[in-house]
Structure 1
Amino acid sequence: MVKIKAIPRANPLDAAAQPKFYAHAIADGTADLERLAYLVSNHSTVRESDCYAVLKALQFFIIDELNQGRIVKLDNIGSFQIGVRSNGMELADEVSGNTVRSAHLNFRPAKPLRKMLANVEFKLSNG
């Protein structure tokens, strides 16, 4: 169950309007590589240290493949791809690496994750 809380937000198009309240998801902790290795090891015959080593290697190679311009697809998890934001130029010939303002990571969830998102339950947090 995902906790939510009400967050007020002003209308950027009408500064005089009263803020409206929107649901905001609240994280309930963090699952790092050590936690994932522990969970995987408890559901398999693989030792926790071996799971951790594999996850660390996976992290390294995801970064390396993305850095080479590839899409990284993790079957039933989803795909990662680098995206960019750039300055608009008048001519295509003016676009270069220097016009890129920033890079970001795009994640496209696979079907099982999309299905989970469609069925997630929410609970209003008191805190």
Structure 2
Amino acid sequence: MVVLKTVERKNPQDLTAPPKYYTQAVANGFVDLERLAYLVSNQCTVREADCLAVLNALQHNVMDELKQGRIVQLGSLGNFQIGVRSEGAEVEAEVTNNQVKSAHVNFRPGKRIRNMLQTLQYKLVAG
């Protein structure tokens, strides 16, 4: 179950407008690679240390492939791709690499995760 809380937010396009209230998902802890390796090892015949080694190698290779500008497809989990934020230029000829402000990773979930999102249950708690 996904826990939600209520948050108050102002409209950034109209700071004089009254704030509105929205729901926001509350994280319920985190899971690291060691925990994932343990869980996977309990679901198959591979030992935990081997699972952790594979997950570490996967992490390393995903980062290397993203650095090369490739979209990384992880089956039904989804796709990862680098995105950038940049400053604008008045004309195309003025565009340079120096206009990149920051980079981020875009994630596009696969079909199984998109379907899972349709079945979530929620619980609203006091903020």
| Same fold at TM > 0.5 | yes
Deviation at 1:87, TM superposition (A): 1.2
Identity %: 58
- Distance change (3 Å), C-alpha of 1:91 and 1:18: closer
Within 5 Å, give how 1:37-48 maps onto structure 2: 37-48=37-48
- Distance change (3 Å), C-alpha of 1:22 and 1:94: same
Deviation at 1:109, TM superposition (A): 0.4
Helix, strand or coil for the counterpart of 1:119?
coil
Deviation at 1:94, TM superposition (A): 2.0
| Aligned amino acid, residue 92 of structure 2 | A
| Aligned amino acid, residue 111 of structure 2 | K
TM-score, normalization: structure 1?
0.93
Q: Separation in 2 of the partners of 1:106 and 1:2?
A: 22
Q: Separation in 2 of the partners of 1:79 and 1:54?
A: 19
Q: Does 1:102 align with 2:102?
A: yes
Count of residue correspondences? 127
Deviation at 1:124, TM superposition (A): 1.3
Deviation at 1:96, TM superposition (A): 1.8
Within 5 Å, give how 1:46-65 maps onto structure 2: 46-65=46-65
When the two chains are superposed, the root-mean-square deviation of aligned CA atoms in Å is 1.4
Q: Separation in 2 of the partners of 1:89 and 1:37?
A: 47
Deviant stretches of 4+, over 6 Å: none
- Distance change (3 Å), C-alpha of 1:16 and 1:84: closer
Deviation at 1:126, TM superposition (A): 4.1
Q: Separation in 2 of the partners of 1:55 and 1:103?
A: 24
Which segment drifts farther, 64-73 or 95-104?
Answer: 95-104
Structure 1 unaligned spans of 5+: none
